[in-house]
Amino acid sequence: MIMQKNILKSISYGISAAFMLFAVYFVILTLVSGWAFAQDQFGTYWYFIVSLAVGFGIQIALYNHIRNLVRGGRGIGKIVGVSGTTSTAAMISCCAHYLVNIKFHKS
């Protein structure tokens, strides 16, 4: 029962993280280039953006689940540290290249 509760909590964290990534995407693009540009970009590249948000949500859910396993005394603490750091570095490098594509658009 406790394990099922932890899994549901991890899934809810993942879903929340995916929605937060969508919010950050729209806020940043709207502030930089306007709402119309943000909508246009999402309409054009929705499949990339949705894929990134879902992948990010899955990463957060898995991280939270593994963290709960470690806290529950099931070991694997060092593996979580190494894999978490590697995963974070990969996600940052994957998403950072998008900063090059930001265009200052005047409406």
Give the Cα separation of 1 and 22 in Å (integer): 32
* Residues 41-100: tens digit of each pLDDT: 999 999 999 999 999 899 899 888 888 877 766 556 666 666 667 777 777 777 666 666
Please indicate, yes or no, whether the overall pTM of this predicted structure exceeds 0.85: no
Nearest alpha-carbon partner for 59 in 5, 17, 7, 3: 17
Contact in structure between 56 and 21 (CB atoms under 8 Å): yes
Q: Is 73 exposed, middle or buried (0-12, 13-18, 19+ CB in 10 A)?
A: exposed
Predicted pLDDT at 50: 93
* Per-residue tokens: 16: 């929340």
Closest to 7 measured CA to CA, from 55, 72, 90, 54 = 72
Query: Does residue 107 have a pLDDT over 50?
Result: no
